[in-house]
Chains A and B, each alone.
Chain A
Amino acid sequence: MNGGTHVAKRKSDVGTLYKGSPGQWSWIAHRITGVAVVLFLFVHIVDTAIIGWGPEAYDRVESVYQNWFVRLLELGLVAAVLYHALNGLKIMLFDFWPKTTRYMKQLSLLSTGIFLAAMIPITWIIGKATLELVGWL
């Protein structure tokens, strides 16, 4: 912050030791997933734009998904978007209704729980497609 705004810190932020409260883990995860998604977005705008060069060019670009490792990245992308969205919702809840911070721990567990629960069928679906791709299924 260059002048003006003052960033208040929690007690646990002062000092050099990482205390590992749930809020800090989700802060890190929010940051990592956000950066990952925006870097994918940069590439994704370009690969989508290839459609302007016709079906041959576009379908060739799309064929990168016919690779098991890209499929794992795809699963990671879906997970990153979903986590960032759910955690962002939690942040907004705390920001706009500060009283909810009383239940910070429970709400963190809840949003993580929803994320993990949603990832079960998603992992199943993309995992199955990946295994079919490499011929193991």
Chain B
Amino acid sequence: MAARTEERVESQAPPSRGLLGTRGSRERPAGGFEMWAWLFMRISGIVLLFLAVGHVLIMHVVDEGIDRVDFGFVAVRWSDPLWLTWDWAMLTLALVHGINGLRVVVQDYVRPAGARFAVNMFFYTLGFILFVLGTVVVFTFDPSRWPGAA
């Protein structure tokens, strides 16, 4: 910690007015919800490093990329529990990671308490609906309803 404290000064100055309100790196919160949120972002970040980067490279870069992705491709993929688990874990972690990220961004740019609450509630609700939608689709998808398509 020594290296870090040396180059930082405690300041009572108002928030920086730099580009996008730049204020340097996010300090680790001392405790409570913010600390767990801080820790979650890092742990989910490591997992998403594999899940999301892997997903993007598989679907968009290697082996013809998106050109080979169609109903049949997904049907074959989702017949494998590995990809089902991968996609559902990615759905869950990416949503929570992304919406917590938005919460942090909203904290910086939406100042009035009422507006901040409304914007946050909008994202939480949207996130919950999308989580339910994604979960239902991943686990109820049955390509045999469309014989011959896969």
Contacts and interface: CB of A to CB of B under 8 A. Distances in A.
B25 A46 contact: no
A88 B49 contact: yes
A20 to B, nearest CB: 9
Interface string A95-137: 1101101100000000000000000001001100100000000
Contacts, number: 176
Interface string B62-95: 0001110111101000000000000000010011
A101 B91 CA distance: 32
B8 A8 contact: yes
A92 B29 CA distance: 14
Interface of B: 1-4, 7-11, 13, 16-20, 22-30, 32, 34, 42, 45-46, 48-49, 52-53, 56-57, 60-61, 65-67, 69-72, 74, 91, 94-95, 98-99, 101-102, 105, 107, 126, 130, 133-134, 136-137, 140-141, 145-146, 149-150
Given A74-B60, A101-B4, A126-B61, A58 B71 contact: yes
Interface in A3-36: 4-19, 23-24, 27-28, 31, 34-35
